[in-house]
Every structure is written in C-alpha cells, then in structure tokens.
Amino acid sequence: MVTVRHIAGSELAAFARLGGAGASADGLEAEFAEMWRDGESRPEWCFVAEDEHRPVGRLAIAALPVGCGITTLEHRLLAPWLADGDAGAVGSARSLLDAAVAALPPGAQTLDARLNAESHPHLATWRSALESSGFALFQEKRGFVWTDDRGPLPDPSGLGFRSLGEIGRDEYAAAMARGIEGTLDRNDRHYVGLCGPDGWGREMLGYIGPGDEASWLVADAPDGSLVGYVAVSAFDEPDTGTIIHIGVLPEHRGRGYVDELLAAAARAARVRGLRHILSDVDTENAPMLAAMRRARHDPDARAWHVWHYRLASG
C-alpha cells in the first residue's frame, strides 16, 4: 500500500537524489535549499510516496512571486519523479497530487505543473494522473531548434536594428509592452492580464543575462517607426541560445516582418558564437509555428515539448 508523507529538513539530500545522484541531483538540492531559505518552499511541501518504506514517487510545491509589483504568489509543482517498474505508478502520482493539493495554503488560487517530454521519462503517467485529478491543460508548447550550418545568412531587407545596449532598458520594455498586444501565447495572455502590458514588459527585463545587451534587438522601418523586437539569450547548454521573446507591433503585422526578426536572431546568435537556438512556441500560435519552419527552425530536432497543467482551487 502506498503512503505519502512530507520529508524532514534533514532529508533534503536524499529527496534530491531519488532517481539517481549526479550534477542534476546536486542542482536540485541547492535549488530547494535556496527556496527553503527564501520561504518559497519548505520541508512540509516536499512529499515522498512510499510502498512499504520503499520510495516510489516524489513531488514538491513552491510558492513563487508573480512579480511586476503585485503580491500574488503562484504555486507550482516541482521535481516530479516516479520509480521505474512501479505497477501502480498512476496511483502513486495521484496520491502525491492529492497531498500537494491538500497542503495548499488558504487563498491559493492555482496550482501549476509543467512537464517536458525531454526531461520527464514518466510523462504519460504524470499526464494521466494530472488529468484524472482535475488539472486542466492550460498551455502546450512545441520545441524548435535552429542550427547554424555556417552558410550565408540573409541580410536585413529594409529594417534597421538597434540593440538593448544602444536604446536602454526602459525603451526596450516599452517596445515589448506594445508588441504583446493581441498575443496568441496563452501564458503571456495570463501574465499580461495580471501585470498589464507595461508591467509585463518591465518584468521581462529580468531575463536579461550576461552578454544579452547586444542580442536583444528592436527593429525599425525605414520611416523610423518601431516594427518589433527579438530577444536572444544564452541557454544553459553549451553553444546554445534561446529566443526569450519575439513580437511584431499590431500595426505592422501581416507583412512578413517576423521572418526578418528571426533572421536577425540567427545573425545575433552567430555573432555570440551560439551554434543552436532552442525555443518553444504555443501550439495554438499558428502564425509563429509557420514562421519558425520558414526560418529553418526544426520541430523534430529534439524531443522538447511542454505541457502546462493548471488546477484552479475554488
């Protein structure tokens, strides 16, 4: 019979190493130790499912700030793990989910879970457990990879580009706030609804990393009007970058400018010495899915695919 309990503070290392030791386990332990210090998680929110004292599952909750100056906290499920060969894996996952939902503090509005086909070996089991536990699919995103084949890249055809380092953070945030209007990305719509376009734009600046000032670009038409932006950052894999965000202002949409922005992203990645760009796109954003394919971003290069589930609590 499977039972679920929360861990003691002294069990963090063992909790992180369920499923194996190594750098990923060390990173998970450090991540939770930091969240415990910051009050974003706690031992009482870290659960282990056991079958006759043998660990068969793991799950944790974190309460993270939305940002943009509001006090709302988002509750997320982290570190899902199930033991290989567990015949009752769906039941173990559901028991962990039940424990997490029961542990939510009063006033918690939602509980989110994000699963990636590339990093969750028991993906089908977790998806089944989430759906049978009342979680709804909030967003699905498909991964794309652009690989630099060292061939010639298209030159800008009519657009001028300026970097964040040239225009400053305030102007870049304002450009993003204008470009997010009418977005087809479900997660972006959610945060714009919470923060407003200006607050969302300012919050996006938190993703700026070392070296990004030259590869976060805005595009201008020949008459000087702002057309859009594309923000390329380094990803936490060797020689790999990611498109943090891309947008065309509403009045300039439908003219193919997104293709020029993606070409600019490729040029910026090459200048930074990034061989690959790994990005993902909402599966309901048909224009962006098509643009990625036109720009030779391959949807089949990796298993990267994200399912974002949400439980609304009352």
Walking along the chain (314 residues) 10 residues at a time, the average pLDDT comes out as 96 95 93 97 98 94 92 94 92 97 94 96 96 97 97 87 98 98 97 96 97 97 96 96 98 95 97 97 98 98 98 80
pLDDT at 30: 97
| Domain formed by 146-303, architecture | 3-Layer(aba) Sandwich (3.40)
Q: Against a cut of 0.85, is the pTM above it?
A: yes
Q: Which residues have CB under 8 Å from 48's CB, separation 6+?
A: 4, 5, 6, 7, 15, 18, 55, 57, 58
Domain boundaries, the chain: 2-134, 146-303
pLDDT at 1: 86
| Domain formed by 2-134, architecture | 3-Layer(aba) Sandwich (3.40)
pLDDT at 164: 98
Tell me whether domains 2-134 and 146-303 share a fold.
Answer: yes
